[in-house]
Amino acid sequence: MAPGASPPFLQACLRRPVPFTPIWLMRQAGRYMPEYRAVRARLGFLELCKSPEAAAEVTLQPVERLGVDAAILFADILLVLEPLGVGLEFTRGDGPRIGRPVRSSQAARALPQIDVDDALGFVYETVARARKALADRVPLIGFAGAPFTLASYLIEGGPSREFLLTKAFMRREPEAWAIMMTRLADVTADYLNGQIGAGVQAVQLFDSWVGALSPADYRAYVLPHSRRVIRALRPGVPVIHFGVGTGGLLALMREAGGDVIGLDWRVELGPTWARLGQDVAVQGNLDPAVLLADVGAIRLAAREILDGAAGRPGHVFNLGHGVHKETPVEHVRALVDIVHEMSAR
């Protein structure tokens, strides 16, 4: 990239013309990479997140290995929950667990006010280290979990398939739900603004589990709080708004806000973008499982997505969710090269 030129990733987020379609991948730093596994062999997950030197190293690994057009901060969406005193821990094989779930009105109302900058300063140090090491080769993306996804972890106590406790709580205790969601929205906005202050150049709001909701429930119980986060962010930094299984919610997610709407693989990019309107950028949306096939199949699938985008300004190529740990590294590198080659203007 020429000195002083704006990176293609940031240009695409703002729907400006780019010389090629930029690509980065969710979970691009992860267990499929031997470099990452080597770091994890000596550090537990939470220990890694809290080590700015190691977390910055992991953030940069995909940039060096894959040639992606953006780095994404290595952290976890649930780090903001630990200072709330709910007993967050990451167990090998079982994923994140909340030791003291929030399942009553009293518990929701009692969530403490926290100083995000003090509690999560190690993340900001990771941002500063990563930005320095990147030396503006590619932009750095920050991220956070959206209020609904954070609330679902707090209530369920860990990952869930049906979110029965969460859905029951928000209907049974609507006032306590609103208080909790407002608290989580404010914490999330503070956290993202802290990342922006430390140097990230774009942010992604992950509403990983919001696809479990109906449009009516999203509108009533989620949209105002996601909007609260996005409207509180410092202006001038592109915001990507992403959820999984959100085909029926995308118009509402757009209403909540974001410069870029992330699409999972369950929707067709071209028709979906047409429904959302050309005055918003889109990100996505290759099925991560395609990367387990051969390079010929990857090429065909990438071509379909690029054809759907039709070269319009505002497309950021990505997966429809994160890279699977079984994925061959050479297939990921091949995808990056294929997208750059096929989309060259």
Q: Catalytic pick from 31, 219, 227, 312? A: 31
Q: 153 an active-site residue?
A: yes
Q: In degrees rounded to 5, what are phi and psi of residue 205?
A: -100, 110
Q: 31 an active-site residue?
A: yes
CA distance linking residue 324 with residue 172, whole number of Å: 37
Which residue is listed with tokens 């996505």?
Answer: 284
**Residue 135 structure tokens:** 């030396």
**Residue 128 structure tokens:** 């500063």
Residue 296: alpha-carbon gap to chain centroid: 28
Q: 221 an active-site residue?
A: no
Q: Catalytic pick from 27, 227, 303, 333? A: 27
Closest among 254, 310, 262 to 286, alpha carbons compared: 262
**Residue 43 structure tokens:** 């550090």
Please calculate the CA angle 314-319-323 and round it to the nearest 5 degrees.
150
Q: Catalytic pick from 15, 65, 69, 76? A: 76
Q: Catalytic pick from 40, 219, 227, 254? A: 40
> How far from 343 is each of 90, 152, 273, 310, 316, CA to CA, in Å?
40, 39, 18, 10, 11
CA distance linking residue 343 with residue 20, whole number of Å: 5
Element (H, E) at 174: helix 174-198
Confirm if 278 and 314 have CB atoms less than 8 A apart: yes
> How far from 189 is each of 82, 114, 147, CA to CA, in Å?
16, 13, 10
Q: Catalytic pick from 32, 153, 191, 221? A: 153
DSSP 23: B
CA distance linking residue 20 with residue 340, whole number of Å: 6
Q: 109 an active-site residue?
A: no
Q: 16 an active-site residue?
A: no
Please calculate the CA angle 36-40-44 and round it to the nearest 5 degrees.
145
Q: Is 254 exposed, middle or buried (0-12, 13-18, 19+ CB in 10 A)?
A: middle
CA distance linking residue 129 with residue 106, whole number of Å: 40
Closest among 187, 183, 148 to 169, alpha carbons compared: 148
Q: Which of the residues are catalytic?
A: 27, 31, 40, 76, 153
